[in-house]
Amino acid sequence: MSKENNLVEYEPSELGTKEYWESLYDRENKNFQENGDIGEIWFGEDSVEKMVDWVLKNSSNSSTTILDIGCGNGHLLLELASNYFTNLMGIDYSPNAIRLAKDIAKNRNLDDIISYHVIDLINSSTTGNDEFWLNGTRKFDIILDKGTFDAIALSPYENRDEKGNHPRDIYPSKVHSLLDQNGYFLLTSCNFTNEELINKFNDEFEYFDHIKYPTFTFGGVKGQIISTVAFKSKKKIE
């Protein structure tokens, strides 16, 4: 591993490939159809509960527009819907993930509250002439990421763009382009510390808050298994 811009750079992994997630969600679709199991809750129920509690603490308006990037089976949005949020959207680059999320939402009569879309955020034009993003005008009050940046950071080197930028370097500006000027970006990771996330997203965002998790000490160093940081957009200097 090497350090780049104060962020630990992990070697590419199958977890950073679309093929891995398509295969995983193909199996989870079959499980849901056969026995109603919605699939794995990444990082566990506790992380979901803490993220939902944070959203509730910082937004009391049920019509708050919320986007979950890399939504998978949509569990995080389901929990927000159960807390009376009504303007929810999930995107994922895996068609199988979105199929599962839609089926679960329909099964729970929430398909009129949560909308799901197959979107490859890294390779979509969020600021240009793109109908889905309303030609760069679609903004959200709160954007959520639970493990998506972790997976993006593990993308193969061949996924770099024509300028040589790795998806993990493209991601912050993509998120920033979708966030309302007064909105929040809440990011949960199991690969990076609070400090590493703050440093990585520093160009586009400023630190606002973080969620506390139980800590452990190993070799005299204190750490935690999960990190969750809340950001706000940096104000543009006119």
Looking at residue 212, its pLDDT comes to: 92
Please tell me the predicted confidence (pLDDT) of residue 237.
54
Backbone angles phi, psi at 213, to 5 degrees: -125, 160
User: 124 Cβ partners below 8 Å, 6+ apart?
Assistant: 130, 132, 133, 174
Residue 236 pLDDT: 63
Name the strands in the sheet holding 179-189, side by side, starting at the edge strand that comes first in the sequence.
114-118, 88-92, 66-69, 140-146, 179-189, 227-233, 205-211
| Tens place of pLDDT per residue across the chain (238 aa) | 334 455 666 777 888 899 999 999 999 999 999 999 998 888 889 999 999 999 999 998 999 999 999 999 999 999 999 999 999 999 999 999 999 999 999 999 999 999 999 999 999 888 877 889 988 899 999 999 999 999 999 998 888 888 889 999 999 999 999 999 999 999 999 999 999 999 999 999 999 999 998 876 655 556 678 999 999 998 765 4
Write out the E strands in 86-178: 88-92, 114-118, 140-146
Model pLDDT, residue 2: 38
**Per-state percent for the chain, helix, strand, coil, to nearest 5:** 40, 25, 40
Q: What is the pLDDT of residue 29?
A: 96
DSSP code of residue 128: S
Rg of the chain in Å (alpha carbons): 17
What was the pLDDT predicted at 222? 63
Q: Report pTM.
A: 0.91
In the numeric block, the tokens 């240009």 are attached to: 128
Query: To which residue do tokens 């929990």 refer?
Result: 79
Which residue ranges form the domains of the chain, and what is each CATH number?
A: 2-233 (3.40.50.150)
